[in-house]
Amino acid sequence: MKRSTRRLIDDHDLILRAIEAISVEAKNTTDSGNFNESFWIDSIDFIKNYADGIHHNKEENHLFEMYSQRGIGKEFGPVAVMLNEHIIGRVCVNNMESALQNGKTDVQKLVSSAREYCELLIQHITKENQILFPLGETVISDSDEILLNTLFDDAELELGGNQTILHYQNLVISLEERAGILEVVK
Ligand SMILES: [Fe+2]
Ligand SMILES: [Fe+2]
């Protein structure tokens, strides 16, 4: 059994790869003026349904709830900061989405909101990996770990389980290819 935070750190690794692709595409868009609408639609899909829908769901509904029961409250301190950053991230992606809508894309708003999201998430993930999760390890018992793993499994299953996760892993590879990070293998 993987530790629950190991599972979340694995999610972070995939999210960071998507963020790298989005950052490169944002720069390409600014430098060349070329705008690849499908790249941005897929990026927003990944952020909303994987980074927020699957990953933040496990943190907010299960890990942070467990922390709260074990003395790391969510009203103030590191968990409160993380929850607030999840909210700011949602504002960024909503701004990206609204920049794409109404038939006429506001590329400048799209790119600046994407950059804001990427900077936020890089810092957020660093804080979780290096500060919050190690702190959490000091209060979570082995039986808590078993429960968290079950709750994470159920949360993932509700959203399509391994099939959905594989879909988003492949979507990140596609974002990397389209951003020019990966050579397309044919
Ligand atoms: Fe988080
Ligand atoms: Fe996270």
SS3 66: helix
| 83 CA from centroid of ligand 1 (Å) | 7
Nearest to 5 by CA among 184, 138, 103, 166: 138
pLDDT for position 1: 77
**What are the chain's domains?**
4-179 (1.20.120.520)
Residues with CB under 5 A from ligand 2 (ion): 128
Q: Which residues contact 174 (CB under 8 A, 6 or more apart)?
A: 42
CA 59–ligand 1 middle distance (angstroms):
6
Among all ligands shown, which has an atom nearest to the Cα of 85?
1
- The pLDDT tens digits for 94-106 are 999 999 986 788 9
d(CA 56, ligand 2 centre) in Å: 6
Q: How far is the CA of 41 from the centre of ligand 1 (A)?
A: 22
**Residue 71 Cα to ligand 1 middle (Å):** 18
Q: And the tokens for 29?
A: 């868009």
pLDDT of residue 2: 82
28 contact partners, CB below 8 Å, separation of at least 6:
34, 179, 180
Measure 176 CA to ligand 1 centroid, in angstroms. 23
Ligand nearest to the CA of 86: 1
| Total count of residues recorded for the chain | 186
Residue found by looking up tokens 């607030």 in the block: 84
Ligand lying nearest the CA atom of residue 55? 2
**Residue 18: its pLDDT value, please?**
98
Check residue 104 and give its pLDDT. Answer: 84
Q: How many whole angstroms from 8 Cα to the centroid of ligand 2?
A: 6
Helix ranges (H only) for 71-160 are 78-100, 107-127, 133-137, 142-158
Tens place of pLDDT per residue across the chain (186 aa)? 788 999 999 999 999 999 999 999 999 998 888 899 999 999 999 999 999 999 999 999 999 999 999 999 999 999 999 999 999 999 999 999 999 986 788 999 999 999 999 999 999 999 999 999 999 999 999 999 999 999 999 999 999 999 999 999 999 999 999 999 977 655
